[in-house]
């Protein structure tokens, strides 16, 4: 299958969209159109064709298709949530956004058996869940027209996509709630008023990977400092806007190869430096 190239192009287009100008509704609308186009291309490559092995088919419907399909669910839900979001009053917005988070959590609770199966990386029922032809009409599938084609869907790939989409939405909504709550709190005098002369020149993703590693290691304030406070400090100290670092961390977690690329590169470079000094 030639879908790896399509996936790379898709991820590049989404990165460009997310890092570009425009409000959240504009990006959601553009995102929906972009994802639908990619799904149709993927659908053409798969429909009516057989996989070389059953393992390939399971991998496609468990990992590849949900990766794209989840973004469609994400952008559709995001557009609906943001278009109905109350304006003005911060407290009202927080209540509204928290209600949306609760609805997504309810979905996880209602589908706890499969949710736990997927989360723990289980494989024993993969042939039933991710091979075409095993339909289960009781499943709470989303009403997207791509699910109608039984040549392009299995009984649980849609549920995996929903789990991935709701994970991303919860991350987005929690950050929005955090930002609104910060605005409700009286502004504290900070010791970081003097502008820093240091600039982060690596990628933002690398800095976010480092940030989460430092927090996980509990080497700052014995692990009591939260990620939001650390991100704010790093942004000021290195003159960088980390954007939605929660969302970036989800992308880091879902890497198919090494999930700690930057940390591994740091080890490699430090070892090279020490070895060069010994020569």
Band the pLDDT of 15: cuts 50, 70, 90. Answer: confident
Residue 95: C-alpha distances to residues 54, 144, 160, 177 (Å): 46, 29, 28, 9
Residue 251 has pLDDT above 90, yes or no: no
> What separation in angstroms does the CA of 178 have from each of 93, 95, 111, 173, 239?
11, 12, 28, 9, 21
d(CA 194, CA 17): 33
Asked whether the predicted pLDDT for residue 270 surpasses 60, the reply is yes
Most confident of 91-105, 147-161, 230-244: 91-105
* 94-107 exposure pattern, b = at least 16 Cβ within 10 A, e = fewer: bebbeebbeebeee
Q: Cα angle at 176 between 29 and 112, to 5 degrees?
A: 85
> In terms of C-beta density within 10 A (0-12 exposed, 13-18 middle, 19 or more buried), how is residue 224 classed?
exposed
Task: Name the CA dihedral angle for 191, 192, 197, 198, rounded to a multiple of 10 degrees.
Answer: 120
Closest CA to 160 of 49, 63, 36: 63
**Which segment of 105-109, 219-223, 236-240 scores lowest on mean pLDDT?**
219-223
> Residue 127 CB: number of other CB atoms within 10 A?
14
pTM attached to this predicted model: 0.67
* 1 token code pair: 């299958």
Q: What is the pLDDT of residues 25-43, one digit of tens each?
A: 999 999 999 999 999 988 8
Residue for token digits 């496609």?
60
Name which of 158, 166, 164, 151 is nearest 136 in CA terms: 158
Average pLDDT over residues 249-263: 86
Residues in the chain: 279
Q: Is-contact 70 14, C-beta < 8 A? A: no
Question: Which structure tokens are listed for 182?
Answer: 């910060």
Closest by CA to 140, choosing from 118, 124, 163, 122, is 163
Place of tokens 């997927």: 118
Domain ranges (residues) in the chain: 3-184, 204-278
**DSSP-derived secondary structure for 225-266:** S-HHHHHHHHHHHTT----SHHHHHHHHHT-SS-S-HHHHHH
């Amino acid at each position: 299958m030639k879908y790896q190239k399509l996936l790379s192009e898709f991820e590049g287009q989404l990165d460009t969209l997310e890092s570009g100008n425009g409000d959240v509704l504009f990006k959601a609308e553009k995102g929906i159109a972009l994802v639908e186009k990619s799904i149709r291309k993927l659908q053409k490559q798969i429909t009516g064709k057989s996989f070389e092995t059953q393992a390939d088919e399971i991998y496609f419907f468990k990992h590849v298709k949900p990766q794209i399909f989840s973004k469609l669910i994400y952008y559709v839900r995001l557009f609906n949530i943001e278009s109905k979001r109350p304006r003005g009053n911060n407290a009202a917005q927080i209540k509204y956004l928290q209600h949306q988070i609760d609805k997504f959590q309810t979905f996880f609770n209602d589908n706890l058996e499969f949710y736990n199966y997927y989360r723990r990386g289980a494989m024993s029922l993969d042939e039933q869940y991710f091979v075409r032809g095993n339909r289960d009409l009781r499943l709470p599938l989303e009403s997207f027209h791509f699910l109608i084609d039984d040549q392009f869907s299995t009984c649980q790939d849609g549920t995996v996509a929903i789990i991935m989409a709701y994970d991303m939405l919860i991350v987005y909504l929690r950050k929005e709630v955090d930002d609104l709550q910060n605005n409700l709190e009286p502004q504290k005098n900070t010791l970081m008023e003097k502008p820093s002369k240091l600039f982060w020149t690596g990628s933002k993703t690398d800095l976010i990977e480092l940030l989460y590693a430092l927090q996980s290691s509990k080497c700052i304030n014995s692990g009591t400092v939260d990620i939001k406070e650390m991100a704010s400090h790093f942004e000021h100290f290195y003159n960088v806007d980390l954007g939605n670092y929660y969302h970036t961390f989800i992308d880091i977690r879902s890497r198919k190869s090494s999930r700690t690329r930057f940390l591994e590169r740091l080890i490699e470079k430090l070892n090279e430096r020490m070895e060069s000094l010994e020569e």
